[in-house]
Amino acid sequence: MELEMETTKMLKANAVRCIDIEFEDLTYQVTVPKQKEKKTVLKGISGTFRSGELTAIMGPSGAGKSSLMNILTGFTKNGVTGNIKFGSAAKARKLCCYIMQDDHFYSWFTVEETMMLAASLKISNNSMPIRDRKLLIDQILDTLKLTKTKHTRCSRLSGGQKKRLSIALELIDNPAVLFLDEPTTGLDSSTSFDTIKLLQTLASQGRTIVCTIHQPSSNIYSLFNQIYVMSKGYCSYQGTPDRTVDYFKSVGLECPPYHNPADFLLECVNGDFGDYTSALTEAAKKPEWRHDYDRSRSAITASEKISEALSATNGKHCPSQQTPTSSHIYPPPEWMRLWLLIGRCHVQIFRDWSLTHIKLLMHILCAILIGLLFGDSGSNADKQLSNFGSFLVHSLYLWYTTIMPGVLRFPQEIAIIKKESFNNWYKLRTYYLATLITSTPVHIILSSVYMTIAYVMTDQPLELDRFVKMILTSMILTVCADGLGIFLGTILNPVNGTFVGAVATCFMLIFSGFLIFLNHMSDFMRMISYVSPIRYGLENMVLAMYSNNRQDTICPDDVLYCHFKNAATVLKSFGMENGNYGMNLTILVVQILFYKSCAYFTLRRQVKRQ
């Protein structure tokens, strides 16, 4: 009761727009590899999900429940025929939100912070000032019994609290239609009941709420307004829970006394009492079993009727589909969302100390270790070959420590990105840009710290232009590694991504011009080496140190002959005398743009995938 009152209070500020979903003769075909004929997943099903009602889609595994949800939410478009109508709304997709089975949040944020950010991403300052947004959040959290967890980090919430937070986040902009994929999975019976009761309350205020559910208990089953049963791609029943037993009796299936009708229903469509699929499919088409039988005979629209009923019984208001909403909530402009997402990424970087602090510490320690290992190789004419080796170590170290986290970045976040971009929190390109804007400075800082320490410790010439060129090369090479890493992360799973990343790095190393000098490669092999970013990085480090009239290095007194004393000799011996620093840098930048653009398109493909 208290729950209902609070929800009503919240919704006074934001009236719900009533949207009925009607679909007719919906067919969905998929191509199955190695099979000539297409597989028909949905076989001409029809139905209506009314606003103000809570509908459960039930059926055995493989019946087509998720396929139906994905089609209605707009996730699946290919292979679908039939008509789908979302009331009178032109842009139906924008009115729905989809709460997926698993609840994914950024673990470093508290419930309140997550809600506040979602509110800022969904509601512009002009349509609701920040003070009102805070009030709205408090009301939603109160309604969903999450007030006590306001300052708890999302990762520490229980399963039921996570589910309620998922719902709370989507309630911020008061969607007209909510789809939920198995909202009770993983919850105990009491929490499951509370969750469905909450959905029932939210539906009774005018929303259209549709969820898939497996084997609900009898008390949960009775909370639904409509049950839509699917079996083998057909609709086997669409009616109220209380008429289920009579319905199955009409086709000769008698429910034993004291048996949960939901269990009986599943046993029937599972074929436990024989194959009744065609009998049930035919019976389900009869209007008298449909839950909206009376309404379909009435002249007034369903929404108006619900609106009337709600006004009469609960005093709640549900505007007609033709009437605009009483309150206008506008999303903020995309640049504002970009700003907010940059803020979120920054907070995440600083709170996830493993991401930045450990990396920084490792870079410092490794630079010192490598510095100690190579000693005065930068100035000692007898150690110039080792100095060349140190450049390869720098290139490889920066490349490897960047590409691997890159491979893992998006797979970890894909579920959150999918959820947030699908539910219109932001456009994918805004999110992608925000991650690039925040991650690039981190790579620049980390590579500069590493290279500065290594440069000084290996006794390289203390000339500003050479130092700047060295730092610039290491920065660009690091950002390039990040580009390839995220590209691999968007096309491969983490296991394959790390494997392919490691193999690609090995080949880039082979073609870098150190293990086999560029002038020792055949023309064809040298052409392949032009693909390797490590080649350009290494060549640029060598050019930064040895080109532009570099003074001879010092040959120690105890060494008779130092072949690499002269910088020109070094360049000639390694086949880099014709190298062009600016050109190499440009090629690296082009590679960065290529990898990062490809990564965006592959990420978009992944996000759009079911």
Ligand X SMILES: Nc1ncnc2c1ncn2[C@@H]1O[C@H](COP(=O)(O)OP(=O)(O)OP(=O)(O)O)[C@@H](O)[C@H]1O
Least separation in angstroms between residue 288's CB and ligand X is: 27
| Tokens found for residue 50 | 């009314």
Task: Assign 530 to helix, strand or coil.
Answer: coil
Residue 3 touches ligand X, criterion: CB under 6 A = no
Q: Which member of 66, 226, 447, 591 binds ligand X (CB under 6 A)? A: 66
In the complex, minimum distance from the CB of residue 333 to ligand X, in angstroms, rounded to a whole number: 36
Work out whether 59 is an interface residue with ligand X (CB under 6 A): yes
CB 393 within 8 A of CB 370: yes
When binding is defined by CB under 6 A, the residue of 10, 19, 63, 111 that contacts ligand X is 63
3-state SS, residue 460 = coil
> Quick check: 183 binds ligand X (CB under 6 A)?
no
Q: Please enumerate in sequence order all residues whose Cβ is within 8 A of that of 61, keeping only pairs 6 or more positions apart, or say none.
A: none
Q: Which of residues 474-503 bind ligand X (CB under 6 A)?
A: none
User: Smallest distance from the beta carbon of 64 to ligand X, in angstroms?
Assistant: 4
Q: Could you say whether residue 71 binds ligand X (CB under 6 A)?
A: no
Sign for the pseudo-dihedral over CA of 139, 140, 146, 149: negative
Alpha-carbon gap, residue 335 to 148, rounded angstroms: 34
By CB under 6 A, residue 67 contacts ligand X: yes
The residue from 1, 35, 36, 61 that contacts ligand X (CB under 6 A) is 61
What gap in Å lies between CA 4 and CA 200, rounded to an integer? Answer: 10
- Closer CB to ligand X, 79 or 331, in the complex: 79
Residue-level length of the chain: 610
Position 104 contacts ligand X (CB under 6 A): no
Binding residue (CB under 6 A) for ligand X from 52, 64, 461, 513? 64
Q: Write the DSSP assignment of 301-367 as a string of letters.
A: -HHHHHHHHHHHHT------TTSPPSS---PPPHHHHHHHHHHHHHHHHHH-HHHHHHHHHHHHHHH
Residue 211 found at the interface with ligand X (CB under 6 A):
no
Least separation in angstroms between CB 609 and ligand X: 10
Q: Which is nearer to ligand X, 169 or 213 (CB)?
A: 213
Span of 1-9, 65-73, 199-207, 353-361 interacting with ligand X by CB under 6 A? 65-73
Burial of 373 (0-12, 13-18, 19+ CB in 10 A): middle
Binding footprint of ligand X, residue count (CB under 6 A): 12
Closer CB to ligand X, 64 or 485, in the complex: 64
- CB of residue 184 to ligand X, shortest distance in Å: 13
Q: Is 32 in the site for ligand X (CB under 6 A)?
A: yes
- Of 41, 213, 479, 599, which lies in the binding site for ligand X, with binding defined by CB under 6 A? 41
What DSSP element (H or E) covers 498? helix 494-510
3-class secondary structure, 444 = helix
User: In this chain, which stretch among 56-64, 128-136, 541-549, 590-598 interacts with ligand X, using CB under 6 A?
Assistant: 56-64
Whichever of 363 and 418 has its CB closer to ligand X, that residue is 418
Residues in Cβ contact with 145 at an 8 Å cutoff, skipping those fewer than 6 apart: 3, 164, 194
Q: Nearer Cβ to ligand X, position 107 or 270?
A: 270
Give the separation between CA 160 and CA 191, rounded to whole angstroms. 6
Region near ligand X per CB under 6 A, out of 57-65, 128-136, 312-320, 410-418: 57-65
**Tally of CA atoms within 13 A in the half-sphere of 236 that contains its CB:** 28
For binding to ligand X (CB under 6 A), which residues are involved? 30, 32, 39, 41, 59, 61-67
